[in-house]
């Protein structure tokens, strides 16, 4: 099948989320990175886009230029990802939908409910996809939780408890740093800081897993660092349309928590527990039974889990990224060789033939030692002795 053409707005050099999008879109080879307006500084965006392999005429300076350029092409992009700061999502997403492009927009999709309604209506009227990157719902075991709930393993869902509480804005002395301050400033962040940034991930996942939507809620919001106008911590009680209750805690001052996205679901017949930082294990406790660990990739899980399990059981989800680092080292080594320059020492770490040989010597020594009642053997290859 021909590759789909993919474009990106935002996600420039040094951005937090740009590399994750490029890795994610590129992994299966279904999408080809074809166009971009990657930076708020036009020249930096053009230059970085070309360094990433974009053609000169498709490494754009800003999103308006990209829209005009792509709109007129026969081989226009099939999908555009909007990974710019929040306040720009609405305008960019709206413009690309109106021009007939499919869009994947970063969260929060818009700054207001009214804008959000406009986007939903526009996606319907244009018939174009408008996806939102609640990316954690892509985890295989999150899909399995949803499947277990849907097929009734837990019985009626009584309670869902979701957390997204990290500690990365806990330093009061750093609160005035411009990179942090804007997030708590209503003029730039809108009506909410921490809930809009992280709480919505937890809420989306809770709804996704239990198959129910939030109907009512009650929130206790706090600015633990008092100079902040918007909240840095919130506890939200929820009632869902299928009868479940919910508790959601989100925080940016939870010192010691790194990422802090966790999910627990309690039904009449059992409970589930999962954490983003250990995505390969799902803890399942049937009523009256013991805690069981469901491993990603173990097989005989739901079709939704099997489809999204990329590496065999026991390997970490990040394992393909480790492979990608080996390829990146090799690319640097080959390019250095071609250009007659020394290789970047930080990339000069790929395993060599010598490592392969050492392994074989160890294999041979282990076999011999095993036969010789565990006698000590020389583990080195003869040529390195």
The binding site for ligand NAI (CB under 6 A) comprises 9-12, 15-17, 37-40, 62-63, 83-86, 88, 106-107, 133, 135
> Around Cβ 70, how many Cβ atoms within 10 Å?
22
* CA triple 147-151-157, angle to 5 deg: 90
Three-state SS for 267? strand
How far CA 119 is from CA of 127, 137, 194, 214, 355, in Å, comes to 12, 21, 23, 20, 55
Token pair, residue 226, equals: 């008092």
Per-residue CA distances from 27 to 19, 50, 160, 304, 323 (Å): 12, 20, 33, 19, 12
The CA–CA distances, whole Å, from 86 to 43, 93, 341 equal 22, 11, 42
- Residue 134 or 350: which CB sits closer to ligand NAI? 134
Interatomic CA distance for residues 361 and 344, integer angstroms? 30
Closest approach of ligand NAI to the CB of residue 97, in Å: 17
Q: Please say which residue, 81 or 302, places its beta carbon nearer to ligand NAI.
A: 81
Q: Which of 196, 204, 9 is nearest to 115 (CA)?
A: 196
Residue 319 makes CB contacts below 8 A (sequence gap 6+) with 311
Q: Closest CB to ligand NAI among 106 and 329?
A: 106
How many other C-beta atoms can be found within 10 angstroms of the C-beta atom of residue 290? 7
Tokens representing residue 112 in the block:
């207001």
Whichever of 96 and 284 has its CB closer to ligand NAI, that residue is: 96
Task: Tell me how far, at minimum, the Cβ of 20 lies from ligand NAI, in Å.
Answer: 7
**Is beta strand 214-222 parallel, antiparallel or unpaired with respect to 157-165?**
unpaired
For residue 253, give every residue at least 6 positions away whose Cβ sits within 8 Å of its Cβ, in sequence order, or none.
167, 169, 170, 224, 225, 232, 233
Comparing CB distances to ligand NAI, the nearer of 85 and 370 is: 85
- Work out how close the CB of 37 gets to ligand NAI at its nearest, in angstroms, rounded to a whole number: 5
- Compute the least distance from the CB of residue 12 to ligand NAI, in Å: 3
246 beta partners: 160, 238
Least CB distance to ligand NAI at residue 48 (A): 8
Taking the least distance from each CB to ligand NAI, the nearer of 10 and 297 is: 10
CB of 63: closest distance to ligand NAI in angstroms?
Answer: 5
Nearer to ligand NAI, 9 or 282 (CB): 9
Which residue lies nearer to ligand NAI by CB, 86 or 262?
A: 86
Q: Write down the least CB distance from residue 342 to ligand NAI, Å.
A: 30
**Complex with ligand NAI: residue 16 or 300, whichever CB lies closer:** 16
CB of 11 to ligand NAI, least distance (A): 6
Minimum CB–partner distance for residue 384 and ligand NAI (Å): 46
Count of beta carbons in the 10 Å neighbourhood of residue 259: 14
């Amino acid at each position: 099948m021909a590759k789909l053409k993919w474009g990106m707005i935002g996600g420039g050099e040094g951005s937090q989320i740009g590399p994750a999008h490029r890795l994610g879109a590129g992994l299966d080879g279904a999408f080809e990175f074809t166009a971009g307006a990657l930076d708020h500084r036009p020249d930096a965006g053009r230059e970085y886009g070309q360094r990433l392999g974009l053609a000169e005429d498709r490494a754009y300076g800003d999103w308006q230029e990209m829209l005009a350029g792509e709109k007129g092409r026969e081989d226009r992009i099939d999908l555009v990802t909007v990974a710019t700061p929040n306040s720009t999502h609405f305008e960019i997403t709206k413009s690309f939908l109106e021009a007939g492009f499919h869009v994947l927009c970063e969260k929060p999709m818009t700054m207001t409910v009214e804008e959000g309604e406009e986007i939903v209506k526009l996606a319907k009227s244009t018939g174009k996809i408008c996806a939102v990157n609640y990316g954690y719902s892509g985890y295989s075991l999150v899909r399995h939780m949803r499947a277990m709930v849907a097929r009734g393993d837990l019985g009626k869902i009584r309670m869902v408890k979701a957390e997204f509480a990290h500690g990365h804005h806990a330093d009061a002395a750093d609160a005035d740093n411009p990179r942090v301050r804007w997030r708590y400033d209503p003029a730039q962040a809108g009506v909410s800081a921490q809930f809009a940034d992280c709480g919505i991930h937890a809420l989306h996942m809770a709804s996704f897993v239990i198959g129910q939507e939030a109907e009512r809620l009650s929130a206790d919001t706090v600015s633990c660092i008092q100079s902040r106008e918007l909240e840095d911590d919130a506890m939200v009680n929820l009632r869902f349309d299928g009868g479940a209750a919910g508790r959601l805690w989100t925080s940016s001052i939870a010192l010691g928590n790194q990422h802090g996205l966790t999910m627990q679901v309690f039904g009449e017949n059992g409970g589930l527990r999962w954490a983003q930082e250990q995505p390969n294990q799902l803890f399942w406790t049937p009523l009256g039974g013991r805690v069981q660990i469901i491993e990603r990739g173990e097989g005989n899980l739901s079709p939704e889990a099997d489809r999204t399990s990329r590496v065999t059981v026991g390997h970490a989800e990040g394992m393909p990224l480790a492979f990608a680092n080996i390829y990146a080292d090799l690319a640097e080594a080959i390019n250095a060789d071609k250009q007659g320059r020394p290789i970047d020492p930080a990339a000069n770490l790929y395993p060599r033939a010598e490592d392969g040989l050492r392994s074989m010597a160890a294999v041979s020594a282990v076999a011999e030692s095993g036969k010789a009642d565990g006698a000590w053997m020389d583990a080195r290859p003869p040529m390195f002795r």
